[in-house]
Structure 1
Amino acid sequence: MKRVIISGGNFVNKGAEAMLYVTANECFTRFDGCVCSVQLAEGFFEIRSLEDLNRLANSSVKKMQSGGKMKKLIAMLEEYKRADLMLDISGYELCSKLGNYPTLRYLFKIALCKWTKTEAALMPQSFGPFSYDGKIKYIIRLLIRKYLKYPLVCFAREKKSAEDLKKIAPKANVQISSDLVLQNSRIFEAAKDFFQDSNIKIKNESVGLVVNRRLYEQYGHDRILSKYIVIVNTILEKKKNVYLLCHATDDLNICNEIKKEFNNEHRVVILNEVLSCFAFESLVKNFDYIVAARYHSIVHSYKECIPCVALGWAVKYQELLGLMGQSKYVLDVGDVSNIVIIETLERMDKNHKVEEETIRQNLNKVQKENCFDELERRLRKKK
C-alpha cells in the first residue's frame, strides 16, 4: 500500500479531524514508505508525515482547487487510478437523514474504486437509516446493494448500523468495530512533536458544555436553547463553573447565544475558539464531567476517563455510552422533560468520581482491539 486516499475527514469538525490524524498515523506506521492523499472538499492534498498533516490543518493553502466540475472530476479519477487503497472515515454520511445527494456522492467514491481497481475499506462509522424519498429511492437502494459488497470491510460502529446495512446490502463485508479514535491509544504519542497544549486555565469545580447545531435542526431553535439554559442553571446551582465549548466551527454562534442568556454570570465562561482535537482532549481532563452534544467530544472525554452526560438523539450515542457502562447518562434532549435533565445532572454530579473508574475499566477493554489490525489481515488475505 504505497499510496492511500483518506476520504471523509475534515478540519472543521474536531471528530473528523481526529479520525484523519489517527488514520494517517496508522497508514504511516503500517505501510512502509506510504504517501497519503487527503481528500477534502477543496481537493486532494498529499502528505508524507503527521507533520505534513498538521501543517495542512493550520495553513491557508486549503483553497478550492481551480477548474470546473469536469476538470475536478478528471482530477479525482486520476487520483483514484494512482491509489492502492481508499479509506473512508466519514462519521455519518451513508444514510437518508442527510437527503439523497450525500449518499450518491458516497457511493460514487466506492464505484470509482471498483472501476479503477483500488482497494477500499469503510472505517468505523454509522450507517443508516435508509428511508429515502421519491422514486429515486429504488435506484439508491440498488446502488447500495451493488457497491457495498466491493469494500474489503465495512466497519459499523453500532450493532444497529450493522443490522441496517446487512439488510439493504446482504453481501457487504460488515463487521462491528468501536470508534477508531476511541480504540487508538497511540496518536497522542505520535503527535507530541508538533502538538502544543493550550494555555487555557480551567477553574476547579468546573463542567464543560459542548453544543451541536444539529440539535437545532432536529428539534427547533427555541426548544433546544431552553434546554441548554436549564442545563446551565442546574450546574450553577451545584456551585460549579460552566465552560461553553465548541467541537466544530459552526457551533460558535450557539455558544455566544447561550452566553448572552448569562451575561452577568461570571461563572459561565465561553471559550470563543475551536481547539484542535489534541488541545480539546488535553483540556477536557480538567473538568469534573462534560455535558456533550458532539459524538467525538464524548469520545475525547472518555479517552481521558472523564464522564459525560450525552445530549443525542441517534443510536450512536446510546451504543457508545452503553459500551462504556454509562447508559443512564444518555438524554434525547429534544424530547426529555426538564425534570429528567435535572435528575440526570444531579446523579452525575454525585457520582462522577465513581464513573471515572467505570470508564477506565471499559476503555481498557475497548483499546485491546484495533480495526487497522483487521484491515491489515484482510489486505494480506487479498494478496
Structure 2
Amino acid sequence: MKYAIIGSALAGNKGAAAMLESAVQQLSERDADARVTLLSMYPRSDAAQNEYSNLTVLDASPLRLGVLINSAALAYRLLPPARAAIAARVPEVAALASADVLLDQGGITFVDGRGKFLIYNVASVLPALFVGTPVVKCAQALGPFKTFLNSTAAKAILPRMAAIVSRGAVSQEHLEGLGLKNTTAGADLAFTLDVTERDIAAARSAVDVTFFDGNDVIGISPSAVLRKSAEAKGGNYVAEVQRMVDYFTGVLGKKVFLVAHSARANTDKAHNNDLPLCREIYAGVERKDMVLFPDAELSSQSLRYLIGRCDLFVASRFHAMVSSLAMQVPTLVIGWSHKYREVLDMFGLAQWAMGHDVYTDDAFQAKFAELAATKTDVRATLAEAFPRVRATALEQVDVILRVASGARKA
C-alpha cells in the first residue's frame, strides 16, 4: 500500500524524526509492499538524511504547502478533467491522490494558545481531504478547545478525520468533549522506535561514550520553546539551565550530558533547533570538563542510545522524555503543556512532572533529590510499564492499516 506522511521530518526535531522512522519501520514490517512519501517541511535536509529505500521525500515547506499544494488539491477536486495535468505539475498532490492514507504526525495540534500554528494544522490535512484520501492523525496531543478560533477549526476539521489517536488521557478527554466518535486512546508511536547495532555504532563514532563509564551521568535536554516562553515573561532561561548544570557538577559532583534533542546543524535559527541554546548554556557553565555536549545533529536512534546511558534525566523536550522513559531512565520533566504529564501518567509517574510556571531553583533541587533517592523504584516502575505502553503505541498501526485497506477514492 501507499502511505503519505506530513507533520514530521528527519531533520530538526528528533522527536518528529522518531515518529516518522517508527512509522516507516512498523508499516514496512507489517506491509512488505509499503511505499511511503514524506511531505516535508525541510525537503533538502530530509532528502539528504533519508536512508530508507521505500521512503520518498517531497517538498511541503510551509509556503508551498499553504499556497500551492492546497490550491492545487482544491483544483484537483473541482476540475476532474484537469487532474492529470495538476498531478504532473504538483507531485505532492499526485502523491496524496494515489496514497491509501495520509498520516498526520503533528505532535501537538489544535491547542488553545497556539494560534499561530493553527493555519498549519489545517493546511496539513486539507489537501488530502480535497483529493479524497483518508487521514489518520497519529498519536498526538490535542485540545483544549475553549477559544473561539481553535474550537471552530477543530469542529470543522477533526470530524472529517478517518481516525484520531490521542496521546494520553487528557487529550482523549478533550476530544470526547467535542463529541467525536472517531477517536482512539493511544501512545506516541516513537515508543516503538528500534535502535540497531548500526545506530549504536553511529553514536559511538560521534561521541566519546567512555564519558558514561560509571553509570553516574545526569542528562539534560533544554528546549528553545521553553526559552521563548520564559523570556517572554522576563526570565533568563539560559542562566537557569546553567545553574542547574553547575548544581549537578559542583554541588553533587555528577557529570552532565547536555543534549540538543532538536537540532539543525546548518543554521542558527531557533525553530526546531536547540543547538544554539545549548551552545550558550555550555559556554557559561563552570565545569566544562564534566559536561559532554555533542555540538552536532545526531539521529533520533543515536540520541536514544546515549540518553539510555544516563543514570537520571531532566527533560524539557517532549521526545527526549519519550526516549528516556523508553530506555527506563528515571526522569524529571520540566514542561509547559499537558502533553508531558499525560504520558508520564501512562507509567504511573505523573508526580515527576514540574510545570515551568512554578519552577524555582530550590523547588527543582528538592524534586530532583527526591527522584535520585527513589530512582531504583522508579526504574522498576518504568521496566514494568514500558511493554504495555509500547503495545498501546503499536495499536495505532492496526488503525492505520485498517483505514488504508478500506480506502476508496472518489
TM-score of the pair, normalised by structure 1: 0.85
Counterpart pick for 2:230 among 210, 219, 223: 219
Q: Which residue of 2 aligns with 1:122?
A: 137
Mapped to 1, the partners of 2:319 and 2:226 lie a distance apart of 15
Counterpart pick for 1:308 among 325, 331, 335: 331
Superposed displacement of residue 337, structure 1: 2.7
Superposed displacement of residue 235, structure 1: 1.6
What are the within-5 Å matches in structure 2 for residues 156-171 of structure 1? 156-168=166-178, 170-171=179-180
Counterpart pick for 1:319 among 315, 334, 342: 342
- Amino acid paired to 1:212: S
> Are 2:289 and 1:266 aligned?
yes
Gaps of 5+ in 1: none
Q: Secondary structure at the match of 2:37?
A: strand
> Are 2:107 and 1:106 aligned?
no
Mapped to 2, the partners of 1:286 and 1:118 lie a distance apart of 42
Mapped to 1, the partners of 2:163 and 2:321 lie a distance apart of 26
> Are 2:219 and 1:208 aligned?
yes
Q: Which residue of 1 aligns with 2:399?
A: 374
Deviations 1:38-71 (Å, cap 9, x if unpaired)?
Answer: 0101459899x96337997xxxx98979989865
Q: Which residue of 2 aligns with 1:152?
A: 162
Deviations 1:72-112 (Å, cap 9, x if unpaired)?
Answer: 55324333212221011110132233324x32332234333
Residues 1:67 and 1:287: Cα distance change in structure 2 (over 3 Å) = closer
Q: Which residue of 1 aligns with 2:25?
A: 25
Superposed displacement of residue 233, structure 1: 2.9
Mapped to 2, the partners of 1:66 and 1:106 lie a distance apart of 13
Mapped to 2, the partners of 1:253 and 1:193 lie a distance apart of 25
Superposed displacement of residue 367, structure 1: 2.3
The answer to whether the 8 Å contact 1:36/1:46 transfers is no
Q: Which residue of 2 aligns with 1:3?
A: 2
Mapped to 2, the partners of 1:367 and 1:231 lie a distance apart of 32
Residues 1:50 and 1:29: Cα distance change in structure 2 (over 3 Å) = farther
> Are 2:102 and 1:77 aligned?
no
> Are 2:16 and 1:16 aligned?
yes
> Are 2:105 and 1:92 aligned?
no
Superposed displacement of residue 121, structure 1: 0.5
The answer to whether the 8 Å contact 2:104/2:125 transfers is no
Deviations 1:185-214 (Å, cap 9, x if unpaired)?
Answer: 6x335x858973333222332111111011
Q: Secondary structure at the match of 1:118?
A: coil
Q: Secondary structure at the match of 1:367?
A: helix
- Amino acid paired to 1:188: V
Mapped to 1, the partners of 2:137 and 2:61 lie a distance apart of 26
The answer to whether the 8 Å contact 1:215/1:334 transfers is no
The number of residues matched between the two structures is 367
Superposed displacement of residue 276, structure 1: 0.6
Q: Which residue of 2 aligns with 1:197?
A: 203
> Are 2:187 and 1:178 aligned?
yes
Mapped to 2, the partners of 1:33 and 1:380 lie a distance apart of 13
Q: Secondary structure at the match of 2:39?
A: strand
Identity %: 18
The answer to whether the 8 Å contact 2:334/2:355 transfers is yes
Deviations 1:280-321 (Å, cap 9, x if unpaired)?
Answer: 111112211111111111111111111111111211111112
Mapped to 1, the partners of 2:60 and 2:356 lie a distance apart of 37
Q: Which residue of 2 aligns with 1:346?
A: 369
- Greater helix content: 2
RMSD of aligned residue pairs (Cα, Å): 3.2
The answer to whether the 8 Å contact 2:137/2:164 transfers is yes
Mapped to 2, the partners of 1:6 and 1:334 lie a distance apart of 34
The answer to whether the 8 Å contact 2:101/2:407 transfers is no
Gaps of 5+ in 2: 73-89, 264-272
- Amino acid paired to 1:22: S
The answer to whether the 8 Å contact 1:99/1:132 transfers is no
Comparing 233-242 with 7-16, greater Cα deviation is found at 233-242
- Amino acid paired to 1:99: G
Q: Secondary structure at the match of 1:274?
A: coil
Mapped to 2, the partners of 1:55 and 1:149 lie a distance apart of 29
Superposed displacement of residue 8, structure 1: 0.7
- Amino acid paired to 2:177: K
Residues 1:114 and 1:295: Cα distance change in structure 2 (over 3 Å) = same
Residues 1:301 and 1:66: Cα distance change in structure 2 (over 3 Å) = closer
The answer to whether the 8 Å contact 2:100/2:405 transfers is no
The answer to whether the 8 Å contact 1:86/1:118 transfers is yes
Larger RCO, structures 1/2 (Cα 8 Å, 6+ apart)? 2
- Amino acid paired to 1:19: M
